[in-house]
Structure formats: structure tokens, C-alpha cells
Amino acid sequence: MNPQQTTPVELPKPDKKPMMAALILGVLLVLALVFGVWAFSSRQSIKTDANAKLAQADKKLAQAQAAQASADAANKTPYRSYTGPSTYGSVSFKYPKSWNAYIDQTSDTQPVEGYFYPGIVPGIQSDTAFALRIELVDNTYDSVVSQFQSDLQDGSVKASAFLPAKMKKVTGAQVGLRLTGAIAQNDDGTNLNGSMVILKVRDKTLQIYTESNNYLDDLNNIVLASLTFQP
């Protein structure tokens, strides 16, 4: 009797589709990772380059502004000087040489009325915000201050005590008032925002001010820093 012959059993062949899918997925993940790293690196490079260019632009702007400020300062010096009539306290101060002045000293009720402006002085009725105004009026200090009472109450003007630096050791010099805000108006009713100093000068009252904050540094550092008078 012949031994029983057995038929070989064929094992199932592995399905290559999942392996292929996994391989493709792996390749895609690697490509995605590489692309992500490249994109991040490129973005950082662009950001770094943009920041460098912005910093360079800011540096150039700062240099240009510093150069302009230096040129403006040089254009203002040496300063010019104004001294008013000795009869009315010899009010004196310095102002930039780039400014011109129109000063009327012919009125008895307002012994000094001055207008200062860079270049040509505009017409008085031109609604120009003057760089500097000076008024020596034949009114008491209290009456001049009272004209701003409503502005002080509604907050459009702020007040603080003031005495010029060069007058602090002068016998008889009285502390005055500094006003900031809507200190004046044009003929059309629009406010002129600036800063005004009110001081008692003998039996008169001095008002010296800028009608524009563009000239505030000049008022503080040149005009008021040099202001003197005989109390």
C-alpha cells in the first residue's frame, strides 16, 4: 500500500497594497516634513531680512531727523535780541535769528504789541498762528488773568505758577501765571492752542506766548529762558 500522498498547501501571498500605501504615506510625510522645515526656514529668513531692512530704515530716518534738527538749530543761532522801552520795564528776551518781527510801540494803552514768525511776518489779520506774540498792556494783572476764567473752568486752558529763570533772584519780581491750551482764537472763532505767560511788569501786564505748539521748544528754551524785565 502506497503511503498517503499529501497535497502541498499554498500559503496566501502577502497583499502588497497596504505596504505600498504605507510606503507612499511615509514618503509623503517625509516630503511634508522637509517642506515644512524649508517653509519655516524661508519665513524666518524673510522675517530676519525684513527686520534688518526696517532697522536700517529707522536708523537712516533717525540720522536724517538728527541732521535736520542740527541744521534747524544752526539756522536759529546766533539769537537776535529784543529790548522794550525803559519806561515800561525794559522787557528783554532772545529769539531765533530765522524769525522776523513786527513790533508796534506807538500806543499808550498797549505800549508793546509784537508779532514774530519765521521768514516774512504774515499780516495781522491773516489768521496765522504766530511763533511768538508779545503784548504789554495797560491793564492790571488780575484783570488780564480774569479774562481766562471761563476757559480755566471748562478745562480748555490749564494754569500753573511761573517766573522766568533769570528773574527768580530779582527783588520785586512777582510770580506770574502760565496758561496752556486754547489760549487764543482766530477771527473765525477757531482755537489757537499754545502756551502763554502772564507777568506783572510795574503797573502794566506782560503777555508773551506762542499760538502754536510747533514753536513751544523755542518759547521755552530760547525766549522764556532769556526773558528779563525791571519789576
Q: C-alpha cell of 189?
A: 472763532
One domain for residues 144 and 161 = yes
130 in the same domain as 90: yes
- Return the CATH number at 121: 3.40.1000
What is the mean predicted confidence (pLDDT) over 33-47?
Answer: 79
**56 and 70 both lie in a single domain:** yes
197, 144 contact by CB (below 8 A) = no
Where would I find the H helices in the chain? 16-76, 141-146, 149-154, 216-218, 225-226
Q: Using CA atoms, how far apart are residues 51 and 158, in angstroms rounded to an integer? A: 42
Are residues 48 and 137 part of one domain? Answer: no
Most confident of 16-25, 44-53, 55-64: 44-53
Which one is predicted more confidently, 47 or 206? 206
Supply the range of the domain harboring residue 104.
80-226
For residue 67, the model assigns a pLDDT of 63
Q: What is the per-residue pLDDT across 216-231, written as a single tens digit (0 to 9) for each?
A: 999 999 999 999 999 9
Residue 23: pLDDT above 90? no
Beta strand 80-83 pairing with 204-210:
unpaired
Whole-number Å distance between alpha carbons of 187 and 118: 22
Q: What is the mean pLDDT of residues 61-86?
A: 79
Q: Work out the pLDDT band at 43, boundaries 50, 70, 90.
A: confident
